[in-house]
Amino acid sequence: MAAFPISPHFTPLLLSHLLLFHLLHAHPPLISALNITALLSPFPDLSDFNNLLTTSSVSSDLSLRSSLTLLAVPNRFLRSSDLLHHPSTTTSIADVLRFHVLLQYLSWSDLIHVPPNGKLVTTLFQTTGRATADLGSVNITRNPSDSTVSVRSTNSSSTSTTVLSLVKTLPYNVSIFTVNSFLVPSDFDLMASENQPSVGFNITKILIDGHNFNVAASMLTASGVAKEFEDDEGGAGITFFVPTDMAFADLPTMERLQSLPADKKAVILRFHVLHSYYPLGSLESILNPVQPTLATEGIGAGRYTLNITRFNGSVAIDTGIVQASITQTVFDQNPVSIFAVSRVLLPREIFGNKAMGSTGSGSGMLGASPPEVFLSPQDSPSLDSPPARLSSPPGFREDIRSNAAIIELHKAVALLCIVFNYLVW
Ligand SMILES: *[C@@H]1O[C@H](CO)[C@@H](O)[C@H](O)[C@H]1NC(C)=O
Ligand SMILES: *[C@@H]1O[C@H](CO)[C@@H](O)[C@H](O)[C@H]1NC(C)=O
Ligand SMILES: *[C@@H]1O[C@H](CO)[C@@H](O)[C@H](O)[C@H]1NC(C)=O
Ligand SMILES: *[C@@H]1O[C@H](CO)[C@@H](O)[C@H](O)[C@H]1NC(C)=O
Ligand SMILES: *[C@@H]1O[C@H](CO)[C@@H](O)[C@H](O)[C@H]1NC(C)=O
Ligand SMILES: *[C@@H]1O[C@H](CO)[C@@H](O)[C@H](O)[C@H]1NC(C)=O
Ligand SMILES: *[C@@H]1O[C@H](CO)[C@@H](O)[C@H](O)[C@H]1NC(C)=O
């Protein structure tokens, strides 16, 4: 039983059952939680802010996250803020605090190097589903004349807050800056947020709300793949790399892409999805750079893989013929993360190895495939070890919030396995 014959001819059916088996029998992840209360406690000037995080329970929202930037309001500014004197509900305060949690690790150097047209960063508030459109993101800008860094809601007519100093940094995981005022999301009704239910997971809506992803949204809808990515109970444990409209506009092979038959288009869309939830921090520290995609699962091990590496302060994604980078977190709520990417990820299995216009059939490309395969022999003999695709940095599994989330993930994976078996057979 221990020695399991693995070959490149391993059938997708067996593969998905094996994967399912592994997932269902995986040991609970080791949790090394982020304790934001403890991180803030050495700073007496942040005691009120720290208390608010605790009483609103936003601190526990953060305990299983990595890769974030906290904008903390020191006591002297907090006590003079009218926010706390407003007869608002606890949920409203919690949402305002969530707006101060940026879902990306930013160093001081990242802040002073923000491009002239600003840098958009998603906040924890965006993930509640209570933010209108993309107003749960903040725009970080730097004034070139006096070098001050400001953060405001994406609605440019909204008020802004100024970054004062860096108080704490744990590289690539957490940084804490002080700011001189609370930042209230624009269009935010302090009285209203409590009773608004959070919306279900609707990938098309998220993309349309993001404004910059209209081509991807319409391709997803037209191909019917959107439904495949969604799950009625909040999503199927996926990481989706969505090309911006600009990425599609820049595509030399756009006509070729558009003239592909529907099933090939669907394969290309699946090629943009990893079948696991990875927040940005986990992608940045990924140990096994060659990751299978949903397209791999329909076709076979070692093909349709993405090579993901940390590069130049961002995450680079290499398909073998296209190099893209992550430009923005569009959505991040376990078990679904969506990142904007700068280029359309063209699989070399369809678009060939050299000129993008060449008609690669795929079979000729196998020699050029990365050595990494879906289940490599050294990883697979024991049924107790997780499959190679799940080898991940220690931090990755910490992002799976609770056993309940894991069970949801298992159910979703089981569903997907069934769907793919169905497609293959
Ligand atoms: C976080 O740290 C604080 C103070 O150091 C402590 O009181 C609290 O119990 C810790 N929380 C968790 C969940 O460990
Ligand atoms: C961010 O702010 C800059 C400077 O005010 C502005 O040029 C840019 O359009 C803003 N970006 C967004 C998405 O609002
Ligand atoms: C931007 O903010 C202004 C003033 O708060 C508001 O009137 C306007 O509707 C907002 N725009 C959007 C797109 O929410
Ligand atoms: C998802 O959102 C889009 C755009 O708002 C909408 O057209 C579609 O009906 C929604 N789908 C579901 C299942 O709610
Ligand atoms: C690295 O990032 C900076 C700013 O984000 C950019 O200006 C530069 O061109 C990038 N370098 C490379 C080699 O991509
Ligand atoms: C993945 O990309 C990195 C950086 O571009 C490169 O060094 C590495 O060789 C690539 N690995 C594979 C298997 O393609
Ligand atoms: C950052 O997180 C990773 C995994 O999440 C952990 O291994 C590492 O020790 C953390 N680094 C710091 C400085 O806390």
- pLDDT 10s digits, 150-197: 999 887 667 789 999 999 999 888 999 999 999 988 766 655 444 333
Write the CA distances from 322 to 284, 308, 337, 341, integer angstroms. 19, 12, 22, 11
Write the CA distances from 264 to 12, 223, 251, 274, integer angstroms. 19, 10, 17, 18
pLDDT of residue 142: 92
For the chain, give the mean pLDDT. 72
For residue 133, give the ligand nearest its CA: 3
- Among 170, 174, 398, residue to substitute to test ligand 7 (most atoms within 8 Å of Cβ): 170
- pLDDT 10s digits, 297-309: 767 777 899 999 9
- pLDDT 10s digits, 382-393: 333 333 333 333
pLDDT of residue 86: 64
Q: How much of the chain exceeds pLDDT 70, in percent?
A: 67
Q: How much of the chain exceeds pLDDT 90, in percent?
A: 27
| Ligand 4, CB within 6 Å, residue ranges | 202, 204-205, 208
- pLDDT 10s digits, 24-46: 344 334 346 789 999 999 999 99
CB 300 within 8 A of CB 8: yes
CB 95 within 8 A of CB 195: no
Pick the range with the lowest mean pLDDT from 21-30, 168-177, 338-347, 364-373. 364-373
Which is nearest to 57 in space by CA: 24, 88, 90? Answer: 90
- Among 134, 137, 139, 145, residue to substitute to test ligand 2 (most atoms within 8 Å of Cβ): 139
Other CB atoms within 10 Å distance of the CB of residue 358: 10
For residue 38, give the ligand nearest its CA: 1
| Ligand 3, CB within 6 Å, residue ranges | 135, 155, 157-158, 186-187
In this model, does residue 318 exceed pLDDT 60?
Answer: yes
In this model, does residue 340 exceed pLDDT 90?
Answer: yes
For residue 279, give the ligand nearest its CA: 7
Residues 62-76, mean pLDDT to the nearest whole number? 89
What does the block give as tokens for 228? Answer: 């495949």
Supply the residue whose CA is at minimum distance from atom 11 of ligand 1. Answer: 35
Across the strands, what pairs with 240?
Answer: 273, 338
Write the CA distances from 395 to 29, 30, 193, integer angstroms. 10, 9, 32
What is d(CA 176, CA 281) in angstroms, rounded to the nearest whole number?
Answer: 16
Supply the residue whose CA is at minimum distance from atom 5 of ligand 7. Answer: 395
In this model, does residue 107 exceed pLDDT 90?
Answer: yes
Write the CA distances from 248 to 212, 228, 319, integer angstroms. 11, 22, 16
Which is nearest to 397 in space by CA: 310, 308, 288, 282? Answer: 282
Q: Tell me the residue ranges of DSSP E strands in 171-265.
A: 174-179, 238-243
**395 CB within 6 A, ligand 7:** yes
pLDDT of residue 410: 46
